[in-house]
């Protein structure tokens, strides 16, 4: 097929364009759209987390897992699959359904220098244990003036899944990022998941690691260096998922995927959007966000959680404090609806940001929103 094209068109600049049009959309093209280099293979987020846990447990014998169904059930979402068989019941511990109790036990073990990885089946249940996360873990290093450090990781799915209702759909990024002494990470891709979880486990401070259930099964291309067992990503640094020059969209976790889709749509309308994958909610990479806003002069913050006192509010304030004169338009905020999550599918769709919401907000920030119909 290509041979015929080549004979017709001959060589030259035309050929390249023709070939690009003829070439079917391959994985490589998708990668280029996502901003990754030539990938060695694809990996699901689930696999990324599993391999990260596996490697960290094998590297450091003081790392152990604790949570509901992490052992014999192979993990409620199969994140910890195979680890019980590999490391034994001394290091992969199934707990009763007593978050306050087992979180306290894990923090106490961390006081003694072990490195627990506590799984919450979802972060909604972490509220049962939130006193231990904040009062026993986050504040200990400060209150003891450095004597007691707590090298613990709290991980689990965060945010809305599909149709699970109000009590199982809340996003806790803003809650935990509020507290000094905690580090809060929110990976998006498989690379993020692997690198950030490894950093979190190695970190000597308490880390809240917010995953997303709907991302577990999603595949991302990864390069060979990600597969290396010493791979890790720095905490506190955001990633520019897509470069742009007209508007900045900040997002974390599942919303990064939505933002990238929105950026695609916007690019067809001539708006080049820069998508920042925050990766780290606390410490927030203010430098990256501000640098991007100074470049593009417009900002849309995107998150899945409730809007009031959310992550987007902090980002907006950071930009107002540091880059106010660079803003050409008010900062736009897209967040989950300010209601407990409904169950009905149509209402649920309205309660979570959708791609058109992001596109609309971006256009508003670019002063390209559809004009209101003038009344005669």
Kindly list the catalytic residues: 99, 168
> Rule CB under 8 A: is residue 320 a binding residue for another protein?
no
Q: What is the DSSP letter of 325?
A: G
3-class DSSP state of 352: coil
CB nearer another protein, residue 29 or residue 287: 287
For residue 237, give the nearest of 276, 279, 196 by alpha carbon: 279
Shortest Cβ distance from residue 253 to another protein (Å)? 16
Q: How far apart are CA 204 and CA 180, in angstroms?
A: 15
Q: Which positions ≥6 away from 322 have C-beta within 8 Å?
A: 286, 290
54 is an interface residue for another protein by CB under 8 A: no
105 lies in the site for another protein, by CB under 8 A: yes
DSSP 8-state symbol, 48? H
Q: Tell which one of 82, 108, 307, 342 touches another protein (CB under 8 A).
A: 108
Q: Which of 19, 224, 339, 369 binds another protein (CB under 8 A)?
A: 224
Number of residues that bind another protein (CB under 8 A): 92
| Nearest Cα residue to 87 out of 129, 41, 110, 53 | 53
27 with 37: CB under 8 angstroms? no
Is residue 313 a contact point for another protein (CB under 8 A)? no
Q: How far is the CB of 167 from another protein (least distance, A)?
A: 19
Q: What is the dihedral of CA 304, 104, 193, 80, to 10 degrees?
A: -120
Please tell me whether residue 145 binds another protein under the rule CB under 8 A: yes
Among 78-86, 97-105, 336-344, 354-362, the segment contacting another protein (CB under 8 A): 97-105
Is the CB of 212 or the CB of 297 nearer to another protein?
297
Out of 93, 255, 300, 341, name the contact with another protein by CB under 8 A. 93
For another protein, the binding residues in 19-38 under the rule CB under 8 A are: 35-38
Q: H helices of 228-341, where?
A: 254-268, 286-296, 311-323
Q: Find the distance separating the first CA and the last CA of the chain, reported in whole Å.
A: 59
Q: How far is the CB of 293 from another protein (least distance, A)?
A: 9
- Number of Cβ within 10 Å of residue 376's Cβ equals 3
Min dist. Cβ of residue 371 to another protein (A) = 21
Contact 108, 151 (CB under 8 A): no
Q: Does 290 bind another protein (CB under 8 A)?
A: yes
Cα(65)–Cα(171) distance, rounded to whole angstroms? 23
Q: For residues 332-371, which are near another protein according to CB under 8 A? A: none
Does 228 help bind another protein (rule: CB under 8 A)?
yes
Closest CA to 264 of 30, 37, 42: 30
Rule CB under 8 A: choose which of 14, 287, 339, 345 binds another protein: 287
Site for another protein in 198-217 (CB under 8 A): 198-199, 202-205
Smallest separation, CB 191 to another protein (Å):
6
């Amino acid at each position: 097929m290509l041979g015929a094209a080549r004979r017709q068109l001959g060589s030259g600049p035309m050929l390249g364009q023709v070939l690009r049009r003829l070439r079917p959309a391959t994985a490589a093209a998708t990668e280029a759209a996502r901003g990754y280099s030539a990938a060695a293979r694809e990996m699901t987020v689930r696999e990324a987390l599993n391999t990260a846990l596996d490697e960290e447990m094998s590297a450091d014998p003081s790392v152990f897992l604790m949570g509901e169904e992490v052992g014999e059930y192979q993990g409620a979402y199969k994140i910890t699959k195979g680890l019980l068989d590999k490391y034994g019941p001394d290091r992969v511990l199934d707990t009763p359904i007593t978050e306050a109790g087992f979180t306290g036990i894990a923090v106490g073990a961390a006081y003694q220098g072990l490195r627990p990885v506590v799984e919450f089946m979802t972060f909604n249940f972490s509220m049962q244990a939130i006193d231990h996360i904040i009062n026993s873990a986050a504040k200990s290093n400060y209150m003891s003036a450095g004597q007691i450090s707590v090298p613990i990781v709290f991980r689990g799915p965060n945010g809305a899944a599909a149709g699970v209702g109000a009590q199982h759909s809340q996003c806790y990024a803003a809650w935990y990022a509020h507290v000094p002494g905690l580090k809060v990470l929110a990976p998006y891709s498989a690379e993020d998941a692997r690198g950030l979880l490894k950093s979190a486990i190695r970190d000597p401070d308490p880390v809240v690691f917010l995953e997303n259930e709907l991302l577990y099964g999603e595949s991302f291309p990864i390069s060979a260096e990600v597969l290396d067992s010493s791979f890790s990503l720095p905490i506190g640094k955001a990633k520019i998922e897509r470069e742009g020059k007209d508007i900045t969209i900040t997002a974390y976790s599942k919303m990064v995927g939505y933002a990238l889709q929105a950026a695609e749509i916007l690019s067809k309308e001539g708006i080049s959007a820069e998508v920042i994958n925050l990766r780290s909610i606390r410490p927030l990479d203010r430098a990256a966000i501000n640098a991007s806003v100074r470049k593009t002069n417009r900002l849309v913050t995107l998150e899945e959680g409730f809007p009031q006192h959310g992550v987007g509010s902090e980002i907006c304030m950071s930009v107002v404090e540091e880059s106010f004169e660079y803003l050409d338009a008010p900062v736009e905020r897209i967040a989950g609806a300010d209601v407990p999550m409904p169950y009905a599918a149509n209402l649920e769709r309205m309660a979570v940001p959708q791609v058109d919401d992001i596109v609309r907000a971006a256009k508003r920030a670019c002063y390209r929103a559809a004009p209101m119909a003038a009344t005669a």
